[in-house]
Amino acid sequence: MSGAVLDGKKINQDILAELRPRVEALRAKARAPALAVVLVGDDPASQIYVRNKIKACQELGIRSLDSTPDGSISTQDLFELICRFNNDPQVDAILVQSPLPKHIDERQILLAVNPAKDADGFHPFNVGSLVANRPAPRACTPAGIIEMLKRYQVPIAGKRAVVVGRSDIVGKPMALMLLHENATVTICHSKTRDLAAECRRAEILVAAIGKPALITREHLSPGVVVVDVGMNRVTDEAEVRRLFGHDERRMAAFAKNGTTLVGDVEPLAMQELSAAYTPVPGGVGPLTIAMLMANTVQLAEQHLG
């Protein structure tokens, strides 16, 4: 028996539909919300991601200011670019797409963004507000996951939740948000002893480690709700056949494109053992975009009174 699919595309469309009248109200009262997007260099994954964000802005009527400095830009020049957006009263939210080139001081750039314009919720001030459970922009991916679980009426309070991964972008804020929803939370990472045993305790499992199909059948208990944050590109035919040999459509697409996406969880095991799961692609990715739009609209409402 297959688990129920938690459809991120559907939740994305629901959230965008709810944001539309709020955007219209802002346009009628003052102006459209404005999001400044800074994409440094030419990382292909980042380019696709930013394209999707810009498309969502266009759908909603949010003004998108796109800045694409060359990959050789210095930390100081990037800092000054962000300061210009900070000082521009027509800009409500700023997004600096990561990863940044290695020569740039990522911490300095993170701190450069005005917390009141922090579309991603990554500024330490906003992270502190998350810890204290006070209103502030929230990290988009974990905020979208909480939104999805609630909209699919997946109970969180009192449940055992395991988060695999401790990144500042997903793992840590995810654990805090689950804690605020009264889950009992365990965080696992590369130094966790007997990861499979820890994962099997989960009633809600969030995998955010960036390693293709690292979470296998032995990590999953029957009836678990699995949220697979991973987006890993696989090109090895033997590996694709091992993971997707059961899926004729996926194999045909791989034969045509020479590549396919896999999450951090073994797909067949996730489908067969879970009560519900997020597919890859089409699960968590669209939620991240939706919550970025929600953060932008909320910041614009605060700026425009």
Cis link prior to 99 (omega < 30° from 0)?
A: yes
The SS3 call for residue 225 is: strand
Q: Which of 190, 125, 185, 124 is nearest to 159 (CA)?
A: 185
CA distance 305 to 301: 6
Q: Which residues are catalytic?
A: 53, 97, 120
Q: Burial code of 183-222, b = ≥16 C-beta within 10 A, e = fewer?
A: bebbbbeeebeebeebbbebbbbbbbbeebbbbeeebbee
CA distance 97 to 49: 9
CA distance 133 to 163: 19
CA distance 164 to 189: 6
Distances (CA, A) of 187 to 156, 199, 260: 16, 10, 29
